[in-house]
Every structure is written in structure tokens, then in C-alpha cells.
A = this chain, B = another copy of it.
Amino acid sequence: MSEGNVRRRATRAARAPLSRAEVVEVALRYVDEHGLDALTMRALATQMGVYPTALYWHMGDKAQLVAAVSAKVLEDIVLPSGHDMRWDDWLSTVALSCRDAMRRHPNLAPVIGSQLAVTTTALPLVERVIDVLERAGFTGQTLIEVYNTVIGFVLGWVTLELSQGPAEGNDEWQQEYEAQLRSANPTAYPALTRNLDLLANNAFLVRWDSGRDRPMDLSFETALDVLIRGLRAKRE
């Protein structure tokens, strides 16, 4: 306990004052390494050689910290240059780029999917997507709806892909579920039974490994293809 204090002091001797940006940075790395549940005001404080209450001065409360950290993930999205590409190619590229950014910080996927995430860090993405959809011919109210279609699809889909089961370490429930799935009544579930080997652990709602370990690359590409084809048809 006093030992902890000593180490803390040692690490932080003659140190520049904390900044909000620095706290968020360290928190992001911490979550990447130790998981979202391990992100604790106290743990982060210890990591930074500071008292927990110091974080409150910079960040407000924990909810705001988490919001700031999740916003930083979207900052990482690489936006292709653009005006030399067709609108549909550009959209595909940026969708894959969003997915990559989220895959780089899978522990934050739940937060990205469920947090409003209003920050100026996302504005470049918004600007470019709106721009390219205008070039595709969408305007006014339809433009907004199509924008929401695209963003909701990409961010939502990948959130689901990266979702996890309870207790990642525990694989008893995995085997139990697989057994339960394979013994499903064939007359009650004929279509499922017909395709069981293809579905098992490969399809949403009937898989036990997360997209973290088992990327759903082909499905995402198909989803993207469906999206683009749908948008083309919508333009008519």
C-alpha cells in the first residue's frame, strides 16, 4: 500500500502535468492490452503514476473517459484521397478501412456500437461520406437516409462481428452450446439442419468464437457488395 505510493512517486518524479489527451492515449493502450473490464479509474491512475482523483480533474467521470477513448478509435480510420475514384469504389475502400480500424481495437467495439460518439474526431469521415454520396447523386432528405444506411451498416455490422461471449476464458459453455446446436430437432429446424455444418461457428447467432479470433472476411465482403448494389439500384 505505502509500497504502491513509493513506486508511483518514483515513476512520476519531475514530470510534466497530465493532459487530457495523454490520459486518453494511455487509456486506449491500456484497454487494447488488458481489456475493457480492466479499465478502472484506479488502475489507470496507477498506470500513470497518479492518484485516481487526478483523472477526475482532467476527464470528468468514467463515462466521459470511455467516450473519449472510443472516439479515438474512429480517428484511426484511413480515408482514401478520393476524387480520382468512382463513388462505389471509394465507399468500399472506406468501409474496409473502418473495419480495419475497429479490428485494431477490438476491446472497444462494444463501446463504439453502443455509444453515441459525438466528437469532432469523426467529422472528416462524415464530410467525405456525405461528399461522395452527393457525387453519387443523392440529395436532401434522401442523402441523410442513405448516409445513415451506410454508416449504420458498417459500424453496426463490425460491432456484431467483434462481439464476445460471457467469460472469454471459459470454454465449457462453447462445447455445451455446440452439443445443443447439433442435437437440434431436424423436423423443427429443417433448414438449419440442412446447413448445419456451414452455419456452425460461422454465422451470427450460431457461432461461439468471436470475430476477433475468427474474422468473417467473406461475409463482410458480401455484405458490402449487397450494400453497394442496393445503393446503385436506389439511384436508378
Q: Report A's interface with B, CB cutoff 8 A.
A: 61, 63-64, 66-67, 74, 109-110, 113-120, 122-123, 125-128, 130-131, 134, 140-149, 151-153, 155-167, 173, 177, 180-181, 184, 188-192, 195, 198-199, 202-208, 210, 216, 218-219, 221-223, 225-234
Contacts and interface: CB of A to CB of B under 8 A. Distances in A.
A86 to B, nearest CB: 17
A160 B156 contact: yes
What's the number of copies of this chain in the assembled complex?
2
Contact of A109 (B114, B116, B117, B149): B114
Contacts of A181: 120
B151 A153 contact: no
A92 to B, nearest CB: 13
A165 B116 CA distance: 5
B219 A117 contact: no
A210 B234 CA distance: 27
Given A113-B113, A120-B184, A225-B234, A157 B152 contact: yes
Contacts of A202: 144
A160 B164 contact: no
B144 A207 contact: no
Given A167-B61, A219-B148, A192 B113 contact: no
Contacts of A127: 188-192
Determine which residue in A148, A173, A184, A231 has the highest number of CB atoms from chain B within 10 A of its CB, and name it: A148
Nearest to A149: B223
A197 to B, nearest CB: 10
Given A127-B191, A166-B67, A118 B156 contact: no
A163 B115 contact: yes
B165 A118 contact: yes
Contact of A126 (B152, B198, B205, B232): B205
